[in-house]
Structure 1
Amino acid sequence: MEQLTLEEIVKVVNGKVDINGECRKYNYLSTDTRKLRNNSIFVALRGENFNGNDYVKEASEKGANLCIVDQIKFNPDELKGNTSIILVEDTKQALLSLAEYYRSKLNVKVIGITGSTGKTSTKDLLAAFLSSKFKVFKTKGNFNNEIGLPLMIFELDNTYDIAVLEMGMSDLGEIHRLAKVARPDVAIITNVGISHIENLKTRENILKAKMEITDYFNDNNILIINIENDLLSSIPSDKYKVVKVGFNKESDYKADNVTLNQSFIEFVVSDDNNEEEFHIDIPGKHNILNALLGIAAGKILGIEYEEMKSGIKNLSVTSMRLDIIKNEKITIIDDCYNASPDSMKAALDVMNSIEGKRKIAVLGTMKELGDKANESHKLIAEYASKQGVDILVTIGEFNDAYREGFKNDKGFKSFENNNNASEFLLNNTNNGDVILVKASRSMKFESIVNKLKAEN
Structure 2
Amino acid sequence: MIQSLTSEQIAIVLEANLTGKADGPLVSQIVIDSRNILQPENALFVALKGAKFDGHDFIEEIHALGVNVFLVSTHYKIPSKISKSAIFIQVEDTKQALQKLAAYQRHLFQGPLIGITGSNGKTIIKEWLGQILGQQYAVAKSPKSYNSQVGVPLSVFGIEAGHQLAIMEAGISRPQEMEKLANILKPQLGIFANIGTAHEEGFDSMEQKLAEKAKLFESCRFIIYRKEHAKIGQHLISVFESEKLVSWSDGIGADYVLTVKKEEDKSKILLIRPDMSVFTFHVPFTDEASLENIRHVITAALTLGMDPKLIQEGLNHLKAVDMRLTLKPGVNQSLIIDDTYNNDLAGLRLALDFMAAQRPKKRKILIISDLLQIGDISQVYEEVQKLLNYHNIDFLIGVGEDIGSLQGRLGFGSQFYRDTEELLRNLDLEFFDNDLILVTGARKFGFEAIVNLLQQRIHGTTLEINLNALTHNYNFFKTKLLPQTKVMVMVKAFAYGGGAAEIANHLQQLKADYLAVAYTDEGVALRKEGIRLPIMVLNPVQESFIHLQQYDLEPVVYSPPFFRELAKFCHVQQTVMKVHLDLDTGMHRLGFEEQHIADLLELIQKYPQLQIGSLYTHLVGADEEIHHDFTVGQLKLFMSMADEIVSKLDYVPLRHALNSAGIIRFPEYQLDMVRLGIGLYGVEVSGRFDSHLKPISTLKTTISQIKSLSKGDTIGYSRKGVMDQAGRIATIAIGYADGYDRRFSNGKGYVLIHGKKAPVIGNVCMDMAMIDISGLDEIKEGDEVVIYGPTISLKELAERIGTIPYELLTNISSRVKRVYYLD
TM-score normalised per structure 1: 0.75
1:320/1:54 Cα in 2 relative to 1: closer, same or farther (>3 Å)?
A: closer
Deviations 1:89-140 (A, max 9, x none): 1100100111011110111211010001111111111111101100111111
Aligned length: 397
Looking at both structures, which has the greater relative contact order when contacts are Cα pairs under 8 Å and sequence separation is at least 6?
1
C-alpha distance in structure 2 between counterparts of 1:197 and 1:173, whole Å:
14
Whichever of the two has the greater Rg, that structure is 2
Matches within 5 A, 1:125-164: 125-164=128-167
1:420 matched to which residue of 2? 810
2:176 matched to which residue of 1? 173
In the TM superposition, residue 210 of structure 1 has moved relative to its aligned partner by 1.5
- 2:188 counterpart (185, 188, 203): 185
C-alpha distance in structure 1 between counterparts of 2:754 and 2:290, whole Å:
22
2:702, 2:785 within 8 Å by CA — same for their partners in 1?
no
Q: Does residue 1:77 correspond to 2:81, yes or no?
A: yes
Matches within 5 A, 1:61-72: 61-70=64-73, 71-72=75-76
1:140, 1:152 within 8 Å by CA — same for their partners in 2?
yes
Partner of 2:812: helix, strand, or coil? helix
Matches within 5 A, 1:279-290: 279-282=282-285, 284-290=287-293
1:443 matched to which residue of 2? none
1:58 matched to which residue of 2? 61
In the TM superposition, residue 21 of structure 1 has moved relative to its aligned partner by 4.0
Q: Which runs of 5+ in 1 are unaligned?
A: 340-350, 362-376, 427-446, 452-456
In the TM superposition, residue 31 of structure 1 has moved relative to its aligned partner by 0.8
1:402/1:381 Cα in 2 relative to 1: closer, same or farther (>3 Å)?
A: farther
C-alpha distance in structure 2 between counterparts of 1:159 and 1:202, whole Å:
42
Q: Which runs of 5+ in 2 are unaligned?
A: 327-339, 341-447, 470-681, 683-700, 707-729, 735-749, 759-774
C-alpha distance in structure 2 between counterparts of 1:354 and 1:194, whole Å:
33
In the TM superposition, residue 420 of structure 1 has moved relative to its aligned partner by 2.5
**Which letter does structure 1 place at the counterpart of 2:4?**
Q
C-alpha distance in structure 1 between counterparts of 2:242 and 2:106, whole Å:
23
1:358, 1:390 within 8 Å by CA — same for their partners in 2?
no
- 2:324 counterpart (319, 341, 346): 319
2:788 matched to which residue of 1? 394
2:72, 2:88 within 8 Å by CA — same for their partners in 1?
yes
2:5 matched to which residue of 1? 4
1:295/1:151 Cα in 2 relative to 1: closer, same or farther (>3 Å)?
A: same
C-alpha distance in structure 2 between counterparts of 1:135 and 1:425, whole Å:
45
Deviations 1:398-431 (A, max 9, x none): 4455689xxxx79x998437743632984xxxxx
C-alpha distance in structure 2 between counterparts of 1:90 and 1:245, whole Å:
42
In the TM superposition, residue 7 of structure 1 has moved relative to its aligned partner by 2.8
1:352/1:393 Cα in 2 relative to 1: closer, same or farther (>3 Å)?
A: closer
2:49 matched to which residue of 1? 46
C-alpha distance in structure 1 between counterparts of 2:465 and 2:289, whole Å:
14
C-alpha distance in structure 1 between counterparts of 2:465 and 2:705, whole Å:
18
Q: Does residue 1:383 correspond to 2:383, yes or no?
A: no
1:60, 1:80 within 8 Å by CA — same for their partners in 2?
no
Q: Does residue 1:110 correspond to 2:113, yes or no?
A: yes
Deviates more, 1:147-156 or 1:264-273: 264-273
**Which letter does structure 2 place at the counterpart of 1:78?**
I
Deviations 1:237-274 (A, max 9, x none): 42751011221212222222422555x44322221233
1:439 matched to which residue of 2? none
1:435 matched to which residue of 2? none
Partner of 2:310: helix, strand, or coil? helix
2:225 matched to which residue of 1? 225
In the TM superposition, residue 35 of structure 1 has moved relative to its aligned partner by 0.9
Matches within 5 A, 1:287-298: 287-298=290-301
1:228, 1:246 within 8 Å by CA — same for their partners in 2?
yes
1:353/1:174 Cα in 2 relative to 1: closer, same or farther (>3 Å)?
A: farther
Deviates more, 1:248-257 or 1:86-95: 248-257
- State percent identity of aligned pairs: 23
1:342 matched to which residue of 2? none
Partner of 2:301: helix, strand, or coil? helix
In the TM superposition, residue 285 of structure 1 has moved relative to its aligned partner by 1.7
- 2:198 counterpart (191, 195, 198): 195
TM-score normalised per structure 2: 0.43
Deviations 1:294-334 (A, max 9, x none): 1111122221111112233454862279x999889747697
In the TM superposition, residue 87 of structure 1 has moved relative to its aligned partner by 0.8
**Which letter does structure 2 place at the counterpart of 1:230?**
A
2:462, 2:818 within 8 Å by CA — same for their partners in 1?
no
1:299 matched to which residue of 2? 302
